[in-house]
């Protein structure tokens, strides 16, 4: 849940990507290359016509501000060492002028809502001010972030400014990675990790201040935190709460927190021209690339920021941009492409902050993360295709999906604002003014109203909150979704008939995992295959970034991947054999290379596995290995995932056993051609169809054995007795 913008491909990526590249390359170099001619002429095939609608007015006097900016840069560059430059830079942030006033306000009030433009210094400066003012003597200063990339990168920056290593005075904590120590006094963490900390420390006793940052994002975990910290503030008069937000509708936060005062930090805002495409764009990725090249060849210097929906799209755009600029050589200036998304390794993430050399132009390809969580200096042009990836959830079917959705007007305004931070800018919207006016919602629906609540309900229950219907939510989740979560936790044995947490439920809550995974891990102890299940769980935790298939070695890669599925063992066991192969070969990169497995993901799986094993130890799950007994391992998986089962239909599709709906095996699955009669799956994703991802065959008898309260013997027998056409349902038929 934490990794909002990850993984799920929303189109069958390979074909689609190939298609894009084909289309793109048709546009470049349409003039035949003559002998001896080194470069292509610059041809922009399908230019996009934009119309300027309005100017998002800034509140600065341009001439005066240009002079001010010059002075600011001068003061910064006068500093002698890098460290002093950083300190000088801190003093030039809009926030700095309000340092004393803010500290006074915090001293006088327990809860304050802080509003300020993105980049004014809220996230990096406020925790430092509090530290400098002595708050850290009474306890840590915590600051939550909705995204893990932001938590890491902000901690790195603040550590630089404080002059320490990350993990010492300044640290961060994200799921499966704690980079903090006893010394840590300023701690950035994801909102999800803050909730986890509450399980061990329900009153946040070790903190003197908690800043709930990026409150306007209204993520599920942030919303739940609101309710919890509001309560903590009542019985801990010494703790300070700061609720900080980038948007102006802070009144809602203030109202919720018993009329907490609003502290407004005026930022510097330059005017931004807003341009709309004249006609709707059939392919916004293509349009974004063309627009980038138009800017690059015609507009004055300044970096470009493109908002895309996820890793696949970012990679495709990067490829397209490279294709299109290849061979243009000195006809155009250098284009530096810098992607940023949640799964990008952190050393590469740092590239987005590097200063662009004179004559070159940087193009940052970013997910929503660059909307408000990260400030990138030097952006003058924003390209906004108008989409983001959002989860949606149907409590009726239990189907959770990440789908590409139009952004809200509020989001679009934030995106445009990124162009006017240090000078006047332009925002190219790849949709029409009419779409903006008629099709976009005013605000994004809070995540709590469109997601599965299993995890959160389990956490709230273990925090002793029994009456969820009356929990103080800022915007309550749909009742059906709450019921569904309660029902699922009951089916898993985490809650009893009265809706109270069971002993099992308490153990499940110890794991930072979805309830189904937690149940699987705990059950594997009694079922004596916990070593294997720890691995399966870790591999599932990495997401679908384990295998890779380079375009030029497709057949080799596919054969290598097939080897892991030998014997049609199912995807879960295939993941297990990937991990074991990696370990048996000394975690070597050559093994990864030969098997077309991403080493980075394997390292992460290793880290996650260590943590799961640590938690198993703490919750007294014995570590037992039973590698040869495939049925046993699958049964243990089913102990958590009996909820996610489907059986084959005459028409070759599948139907989920409970809450029936038609689903299909994802083509990436090793089971896609095997088509067993009964399967369990890790997740349902909606792409071109409703797909089950990570699939293994099961024996339906197990269901009755594992979850007698959920499946009746008769129900399963009836389903199993149906006749199937020949050649269908090859695997175990009970
Ligand atoms: O939180 P807010 O949007 O108000 O601003 P911030 O994240 O504290 O950023 C303040 C300044 O720190 C930005 O203008 C960036 O120049 C700088 N910064 C950076 O260089 N690298 C980061 N990872 C984060 C911030
Ligand atoms: Mg911030």
Q: Can you tell me which atom of ligand 1 is nearest the CA of 213?
A: 1
- The model's confidence at residue 65, banded by pLDDT at 50, 70 and 90, is confident
Q: Which residues contact 60 (CB under 8 A, 6 or more apart)?
A: 268, 269, 270
Query: Which ipTM value was assigned to this complex?
Result: 0.99
pLDDT at 226: 97
Pocket test for ligand 1, best of 87, 119, 346, 377 (most atoms within 8 A of CB): 119
Phi, psi of 116 (to 5 degrees): -165, 150
* Lookup result for tokens 């309560």: 231
Which residue's alpha carbon is at the smallest distance from atom 6 of ligand 1?
Answer: 121
Q: Can you tell me which atom of ligand 1 is nearest the CA of 265?
A: 4
Three-state secondary structure call for residue 159 = helix
Pocket test for ligand 1, best of 114, 148, 266, 375 (most atoms within 8 A of CB): 375
pLDDT at 246: 87
Q: Can you tell me which atom of ligand 1 is nearest the CA of 373?
A: 3
Which residue's alpha carbon is at the smallest distance from atom 15 of ligand 1?
Answer: 375
Which residue's alpha carbon is at the smallest distance from atom 8 of ligand 1?
Answer: 121
Q: Can you tell me which atom of ligand 1 is nearest the CA of 118?
A: 3
**Cα of 234 from ligand 1 centre, angstroms:** 32
Average pLDDT (27-34) is 30
Helix (H) or strand (E) holding 579: helix 571-584
Give the ligand with the smallest distance to the CA of 157: 1
The alpha carbon dihedral of 254, 255, 258, 261 has a sign of positive
C-alpha span between 194 and 143 (Å, rounded): 9
For residue 734, pLDDT beyond 60: no
- The model's confidence at residue 26, banded by pLDDT at 50, 70 and 90, is very low
Give the ligand with the smallest distance to the CA of 379: 1
**Cα of 127 from ligand 2 centre, angstroms:** 11
**Cα of 459 from ligand 1 centre, angstroms:** 32
Which residue's alpha carbon is at the smallest distance from atom 16 of ligand 1?
Answer: 377
User: Which tens digits make up the pLDDT trace of 369-384?
Assistant: 899 888 888 999 999 9
C-alpha span between 646 and 642 (Å, rounded): 10
Eight-state DSSP code of residue 55: E
**Cα of 371 from ligand 1 centre, angstroms:** 13
Q: What percent of the chain has pLDDT over 70?
A: 92
**Cα of 117 from ligand 1 centre, angstroms:** 11
Residue 5 tokens read as 């913008």
Gap between the terminal Cα atoms of the chain: 36
Which residue stretches of 206-248 are H helix? Answer: 220-235
pTM of the model: 0.86
C-alpha span between 177 and 607 (Å, rounded): 8
**Cα of 87 from ligand 1 centre, angstroms:** 13
For residue 517, pLDDT beyond 70: yes
**Cα of 310 from ligand 2 centre, angstroms:** 21
The alpha carbon dihedral of 506, 509, 511, 514 has a sign of positive
pLDDT at 430: 94
Q: Can you tell me which atom of ligand 1 is nearest the CA of 154?
A: 23
To the nearest whole number, what is the mean pLDDT of the chain?
88
User: Which tens digits make up the pLDDT trace of 392-429?
Assistant: 888 877 777 778 899 999 999 999 999 988 889 999 99
User: Which tens digits make up the pLDDT trace of 555-575?
Assistant: 999 999 999 999 999 999 999
For residue 179, pLDDT beyond 60: yes
User: Which tens digits make up the pLDDT trace of 290-334?
Assistant: 999 999 988 999 999 999 998 889 999 999 999 888 877 677 889
pLDDT at 329: 67
Q: Which residues contact 36 (CB under 8 A, 6 or more apart)?
A: none
Average pLDDT (157-183) is 95
Side-chain-side CA neighbours of residue 584 (13 Å): 6
CA distance to 292, 533, 546, 591, 733, per residue, from 596 (Å): 33, 23, 9, 8, 34
Which residue's alpha carbon is at the smallest distance from atom 21 of ligand 1?
Answer: 157
Q: Can you tell me which atom of ligand 1 is nearest the CA of 125?
A: 8
Residue 531 tokens read as 């070593």
C-alpha span between 732 and 734 (Å, rounded): 6
Average pLDDT (248-260) is 91
Q: What residues line ligand 1, using a CB cutoff of 6 Å?
A: 93, 116, 118-125, 153-154, 157, 353, 375, 377
């Amino acid at each position: 849940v934490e990794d909002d913008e990850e993984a799920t491909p929303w189109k069958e990526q390979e074909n689609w990507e190939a298609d894009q590249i084909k289309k793109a390359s048709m546009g470049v170099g349409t003039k035949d290359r003559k002998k001896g001619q080194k470069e292509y002429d610059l041809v922009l095939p399908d230019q996009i016509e934009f119309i300027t609608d309005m100017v998002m007015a800034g509140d600065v006097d341009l001439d005066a501000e240009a002079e001010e900016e010059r002075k600011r840069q001068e003061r910064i560059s006068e500093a002698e060492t890098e460290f002093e430059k950083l300190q000088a830079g801190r003093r030039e942030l809009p926030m700095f002028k309000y340092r004393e006033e803010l500290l006074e306000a915090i001293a006088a009030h327990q809860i304050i809502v802080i509003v300020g433009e993105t980049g004014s210094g809220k996230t990096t400066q406020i925790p430092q001010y509090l530290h400098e003012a002595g708050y850290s003597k009474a306890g840590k200063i915590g600051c939550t972030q909705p995204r893990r990339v932001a938590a890491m990168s902000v901690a790195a920056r603040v550590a630089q400014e404080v002059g320490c290593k990350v993990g010492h005075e300044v640290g961060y904590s994200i799921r499966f990675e704690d980079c903090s120590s006893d010394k840590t006094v300023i701690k950035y963490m994801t909102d999800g990790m803050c909730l986890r900390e509450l399980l061990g420390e329900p009153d946040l006793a070790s903190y003197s201040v908690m800043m709930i940052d990026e409150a306007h994002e209204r993520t599920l975990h942030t919303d739940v935190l609101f309710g919890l910290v509001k309560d903590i503030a009542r019985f801990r008069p010494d703790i300070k709460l700061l609720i900080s937000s980038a948007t102006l509708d802070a009144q809602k936060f203030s109202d919720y927190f018993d009329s907490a005062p609003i502290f407004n930090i005026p930022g510097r805002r330059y005017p931004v021209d807003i341009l709309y495409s004249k006609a709707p764009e059939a392919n916004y990725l293509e349009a974004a690339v063309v627009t980038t090249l138009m800017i690059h060849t015609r507009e004055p210097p300044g970096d470009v920021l493109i908002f895309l929906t996820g890793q696949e799209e970012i990679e495709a755009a990067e490829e397209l941009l490279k294709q299109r600029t290849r061979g243009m050589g000195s006809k155009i200036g250098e284009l530096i492409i810098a992607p940023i998304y949640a799964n990008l390794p952190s050393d590469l993430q740092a590239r987005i902050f590097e200063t662009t050399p004179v004559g070159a132009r940087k193009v940052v390809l970013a997910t929503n993360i660059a909307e408000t969580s990260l400030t990138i200096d030097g952006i003058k042009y924003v390209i906004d295709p108008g989409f983001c990836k959002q989860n949606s959830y149907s409590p009726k079917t239990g189907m959770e999906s990440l789908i590409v959705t139009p952004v809200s007007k509020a989001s679009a305004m934030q995106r445009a604002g990124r162009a006017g931070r240090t000078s006047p800018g332009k925002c190219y919207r790849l949709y029409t003014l009419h779409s903006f006016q008629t099709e976009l919602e005013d605000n994004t629906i809070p995540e709590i109203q469109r997601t599965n609540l299993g995890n959160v309900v389990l956490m709230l229950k273990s925090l002793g909150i029994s009456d969820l219907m009356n929990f103080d939510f800022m915007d309550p989740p749909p009742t059906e979704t709450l019921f569904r979560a309660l029902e699922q936790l009951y089916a898993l044995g985490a809650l009893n008939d009265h809706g109270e947490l069971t002993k099992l439920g308490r153990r499940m809550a110890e794991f930072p995992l979805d309830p189904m995974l937690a149940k699987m891990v705990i059950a594997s102890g009694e079922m004596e295959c916990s070593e294997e299940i720890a691995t399966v769980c870790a591999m599932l935790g990495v997401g679908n970034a384990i295998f890779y298939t380079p375009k030029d070695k497709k057949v080799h890669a596919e054969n290598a991947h097939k080897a892991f599925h030998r014997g049609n063992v199912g995807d879960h066991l295939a993941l297990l054999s990937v991990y074991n192969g990696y370990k048996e070969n000394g975690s070597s990169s050559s093994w990864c290379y030969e098997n077309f497995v991403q080493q980075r993901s394997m390292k992460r799986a290793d880290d996650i596995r260590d943590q799961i094993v640590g938690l198993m130890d703490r919750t007294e799950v014995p570590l037992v290995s039973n590698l040869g007994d495939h049925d046993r391992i699958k049964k243990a998986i089913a102990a958590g995932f009996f909820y996610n089962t489907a059986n084959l239909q005459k028409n070759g599709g599948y139907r989920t056993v409970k809450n029936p709906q038609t689903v299909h095996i994802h083509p990436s699955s090793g089971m896609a051609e095997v088509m067993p009669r009964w399967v369990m799956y890790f997740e349902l994703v909606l792409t071109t169809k409703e797909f089950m991802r990570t699939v293994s065959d099961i024996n339906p008898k197990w269901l009755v054995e594992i979850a007698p309260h959920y499946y009746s013997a008769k129900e399963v027998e009836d389903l199993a007795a149906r006749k199937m056409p020949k050649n269908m349902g090859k695997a175990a038929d009970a």
